[in-house]
Amino acid sequence: MVKAVVGANWGDEGKGKITDMLAQNADIIVRFQGGANAGHTIVNNYGKFALHTLPSGVFYDHTTSVIGNGVALNIPVLFDEIKSITDKNVPMPKIKVSDRAQIVMPYHILFDQYEEERLGKASFGSTKSGIAPFYSDKYAKVGYQVSELFDDELLKENNYPGMKVLQFAFDESGESVYLPFRYDKNCIVYTGTHDNETTKGWLGNLTQSNRDYVNQYTACEEKDTDECVWGLIRAAQSSVAEVCVVPLQDYLCLGNEARMSTPSTLGDNWKWRLTRGQLTDEIIHRINAMTRLYGRIQENKK
């Protein structure tokens, strides 16, 4: 028997709670549309959760959760959300993503933010997650589907670089494609993006086994978290990736108080600012030395 839960209002009808209740006796739970907006609040034996992309049945080990082709899929948000529940001892859920699901791009989020600013007092009160611009593109048949990420011939033909985020690399399987020794040259490596925790904040929230893995990979002592941050920066800089991106907060070894953005939240994003004196001569010299060491500075040729 198929049961559908559909909201008939503007949200906040309790769809997540109803889905969570029905999931107890379901085999498959499908999120068929929508994006990572305010979220569905679920309270269970593991704690309190706000799900933004994951279907509300992810807490049951007998279910398979499906993210359907109508969903506005923000990939970093999905990864962060999976981590947020497994960090609270929720078993890793069985998740399948439709290969026809379309991807929310960074420019969708920017368009959403700019439009809200342009409208001023007449703004819609968007969560600025890029949902409206995303669906405009989807219905115009413009954009990228998940299937295209796995079409090697298409990627090679168009020379699209892959995106590698170190914070996604260190799971217990040791098989992650985000580990630096598995990179192709045509990719961009990030220690973390603007939507992730700072690297120092991320290290502090790892399970002990995952932290041990990071320590071994970077050859750092657990008690010296700042040097472990620099070890991860070195792993990114020394990789074969064509481009390496390191947020300034990571060079400064700042914790999550300096996080730039937490997806699908309002009020406290994009507020961090560099203050006078934070970027010392010592840090500048260290950045310069490492960047030169791994050949990432192109000297001007006269």
Active site residues: 12, 40
Q: How far is CA 175 from CA 79, 123, 126, 225, 267, in A?
A: 16, 45, 38, 24, 37
pLDDT tens, 46-89?
A: 888 888 889 888 888 899 999 999 999 999 889 888 888 888 88
- The mean predicted confidence, pLDDT, of the chain is 88
| 256-264: average pLDDT | 87
Q: How far is CA 97 from the centre of its chain?
A: 16
Question: 3-state class of 244 per DSSP?
Answer: strand
Q: How far is CA 231 from CA 38, 211, 226, 290, in A?
A: 36, 13, 9, 11
Contact by Cβ (8 Å): 83, 53: no
| 276-292: average pLDDT | 95
Biggest CA–CA distance in the chain, Å, is: 73
Q: In this model, does residue 154 exceed pLDDT 90?
A: no
Rounded distance between C-alpha atoms, residue 248 and residue 253, angstroms: 9
pTM listed for this prediction: 0.59
| 162-182: average pLDDT | 88
pLDDT tens, 17-39?
A: 788 888 889 999 998 888 887 67
Contact by Cβ (8 Å): 233, 290: yes
Rounded distance between C-alpha atoms, residue 290 and residue 230, angstroms: 10
